[in-house]
Structure 1
Amino acid sequence: MRPSIKQVANLAGVSIATVSRLLNKPGSVSAETAEKIHRSIEQLGFRPNFNGRNLRAGNSRTVGVVVPTLSNTVFAQCLQGIELAARELDYSVMFTTTEYLPHDESAAVELLLSHRVDGVILTVADAGANATLDLLEREKIPFVLTYNQLAQPVPGETPCTRVSVSVDNRAAACDAVTHLIRLGHRRIQMLSGRFNASDRAIQRYYGYLDAMRMAGLDPLSAIEVERHTLTAATDYQQMMADPAQRPTALFCSNDLLAMSAMRDLRALGLRVPQDISVMGFDGIPVGALMEPVLASVVQPSEQIGDVALRTLVAAIERGVIAGGDAHAASAGGMRHVLPHGVRAGGSAASPDQS
């Protein structure tokens, strides 16, 4: 049996109420009494039940996190930012994944809500039309989107009341493709995950189109693959079949896809960057350890998690203090757009270096 608060009080020679005051407000008892209670806690191996305390207070001090996967370290970095900020603010974190399956998003959120989380941080397939987000709004559960980039408010239209933390995916992709163009590339093709599974991918495709058109270049049809870890060797063989028409550079919608492409291209006997340059998106740390270093857009994933958690907690606590709608407290259509950078790695070079 786990030791109880009553046993702690008896051993310390104080009341249960005194032990409770110490646990909830450490400065509310004398130093001498606190020392006796702490000795009893240590001797008995007592662990306070903060869950019960928090639920009695009307909150769990737990936030839920839904991400597509942890196999892509960009989401693991984000989760680390969330966890570190939550620890600082005395919150706990529960997380689950959807494996990029839009129909699993609602089930994931329902699971977290069954554990009485106070709010949710999530990345969804499409933030523009999403039943899961509609559910959270109906249930008045505060939430913050990460990586999903909310559209700019249109004058005259009803303002969006959702909150997001991301980079500007379209502008960042445009910068990546512009980097390839400045290196001298004219035939650049985009390699992406399925657009219907990621609104980030389609925004990055629009950025690709922006850069190509600003340079007066003809965009090539995007190659969509099911998962970033799967081989697309057949697509590469077709893409590279005609030397006069094949692209000299690939812009990939994420870094894992770029690294998979480099693997498959080498399997076909092609050299990176001598035969074809490869550019990624995310700036995950392992890309800097490759040879050649993966050229990529760098987004601050840990900071995205940190800002999302602090934004969510502020909304939760304003709602609890006010006794009203916590989601309304976070409303206003806030778009936290964080800065991105471009890592000029060796995987992208001038096409004249063949």
Structure 2
Amino acid sequence: MPTMADVARGAGVSVATVSHVLNGTRPVLPHTRQAVLDAVERLGYTPNGLARSLVTSRTRSIGLAVSAVSNPYFTEILQGVEARALEHGYSLLIADPHDDPAHERTVVQLLHERRVDGVIVAASAQPRELVAYLTRHGVPTVFLDRLVGTGPDAGRGTPGFDQVCADSAEPTALLVTHLAGLGHRRIGLVAGLPGLSTTAERITGYRHGLAAAGLPHDERLVVHGDSAADGAQRATAALLSLAVPPTALITANNAMTIGALRALRAHGLSVPHDMALCCFDDFDWADLFSPGLTAIAQPGRDLGSRAVQLLLERLAAPERPARTVRLPCAFVHRTSCGCPPQPERGTDP
């Protein structure tokens, strides 16, 4: 089996230079780096990850705790995490906390015990025990999508922890003003799981949108679908049972959009003729629905990629101040809101 010394001889460089190329510990001239990589390929050299971790105290692995199985939105984020991690030579260990605070704490501890260099976590609505564990053990951590911290500290970053998320309030306000501009005066919101920062921010955006449109805020028009299809189906049915039901709905994530559509169908209502619908979260098949879903598209892959970058920067500079990064969303205009089909790009309206 070829060794690092064999690679060094084959490339005409020192063993230290080979180590710098393979571990990324120091810049190397491009032609020297290529010579090392060519020798690695030619000799079939495979780095000993275990030995390297013993020397560097790093495993070049990242733990990712997101509810990817139960929440399709996180699948796109996972793709972004994986691509950026592999780009930097890191492997990925994945666990699904199922949005359960106790299970969340357990799976993150298991990732930590497997000596990952750091973790990326989409926190539950009650992450206090998780934060205490991460703080106590000094685990390099990036909170993803859901911010940790409440009150005046919300969104500013928990001490020692970086955070990355998409904008939520302003895009939700945009959906409200768009529907109001179409003449709707009673606009319902199927909100997510209470306690999540995304839920709170989208409710705030909903209220800001009503105020901007000059509409009153009616608490009865805000129901919680608990970020799940079944919960949203029940919540939408509750809205439809009001003496004066809404004429338009906003659903606060893609799973709840499915639940709302099921409830509307069960009540014999069609979109957008009987109920206009806008949703937070675009997804691959949203344009295949009839009508196509007007949606806010979150930058899932970019969120995942940026989370890895923040974690790598934290590993390189453990003492730097924590940062919270917000990425913009996009408004995807289709027809479930009641608007006519939009002309294709490059065609006349």
Aligned to 1:224: 224
Q: Which runs of 5+ in 2 are unaligned?
A: 22-27, 340-349
Separation (CA, whole Å) in 2 of partners of 1:159 and 1:33: 41
Q: Distance in 2 between matches of 1:266 and 1:300?
A: 30
Shift of 1:40: 5.1
C-alpha distance in structure 1 between counterparts of 2:78 and 2:198, whole Å: 18
1: CA distance between counterparts of 2:72 and 2:237? 29
The letter of the residue matching 1:349 is G
3-state secondary structure, aligned to 1:195: coil
Q: Alignment RMSD, CA only?
A: 3.4
**Residues 263-322 of structure 1, C-alpha deviation per residue, up to 9 Å, x if partnerless?**
33123211011101121112223223322111111111111111111111011123xxxx
**Are residues 234 and 84 of structure 1, via their aligned partners in 2, closer, same or farther at CA, if it must alter by over 3 Å?**
closer
Residues 125 and 193, structure 2, Cα contact 8 Å, conserved in 1: no
Kindly provide the amino acid, as one letter, of the partner of residue 103 in structure 2: D
Aligned to 1:24: 19
- Which of 1 and 2 has higher RCO (CA within 8 Å, sep 6+)? 1
Alpha-carbon contact 1:149-1:168 (below 8 Å) kept: no
TM value normalised by structure 1: 0.79
User: What is the TM-score with the length of structure 2 in the denominator?
Assistant: 0.80
Show the counterpart of 2:136.
138
8 Å CA contact 2:65, 2:94 repeated in 1 = yes
Say yes or no: does 1:149 pair with 2:144. no
Do 2:61 and 2:91's aligned partners in 1 also have CA atoms closer than 8 Å?
Answer: yes
Q: What's the counterpart of residue 346 of structure 1?
A: 335
Return the alpha-carbon distance in structure 2 between the equivalents of residues 78 and 39 of structure 1: 36
Please tell me whether the aligned partners of residues 150 and 335 of structure 1 are also in contact (alpha carbons under 8 angstroms): no
Q: 1:212 to 1:153 in 2, by over 3 A?
A: closer
Matched, 1:312 2:311: yes
Counterparts of 2:123 and 2:234 in 1: how far apart (Å)? 29
The answer for the alignment partner of 1:81 in structure 2 is 80
- Aligned twin of 2:60: 61
Query: What SS does structure 1 have at the residue aligned with 2:99?
Result: coil
Per-residue CA deviation, residues 205-238 of structure 1 (Å, 9 max, x unaligned), is: 1221222233232324322234523265555444
Residue 172 of structure 1 deviates from its aligned partner by 2.3
- Unmatched 5+ stretches in structure 1: 319-325
Superposed, which structure 2 residues align to 1:161-310 within 5 Å? 161=159, 162-196=161-195, 198-214=196-212, 215-221=214-220, 222-226=222-226, 228-230=228-230, 233=233, 235-241=235-241, 245-310=244-309
- The percentage of aligned residue pairs carrying the same residue is 25
SS across alignment from 2:116: coil
C-alpha distance 150-184 of structure 1, shift in aligned 2 (>3 A):
farther
C-alpha displacement of 1:138:
2.1
Instruction: Name the CA distance, whole Å, in 2 between partners of 1:308 and 1:34.
Output: 28
- Secondary structure of the equivalent of 2:229? coil
SS at match of 2:179: helix
1:56 deviates by: 2.4
Partner of 2:25: none
The 8 Å contact of residues 188 and 249 in structure 1, kept in 2 or not, is answered as: yes
Deviations 1:12-49 (A, max 9, x none): 9x89xx997686356899999997875553xxxx7432
Structure 1's 201 and 37: CA in aligned 2 closer, same or farther, altered over 3 A? Answer: closer
Gap change, CA 1:83 and 1:174, over 3 Å in 2:
same
SS at match of 1:204: helix
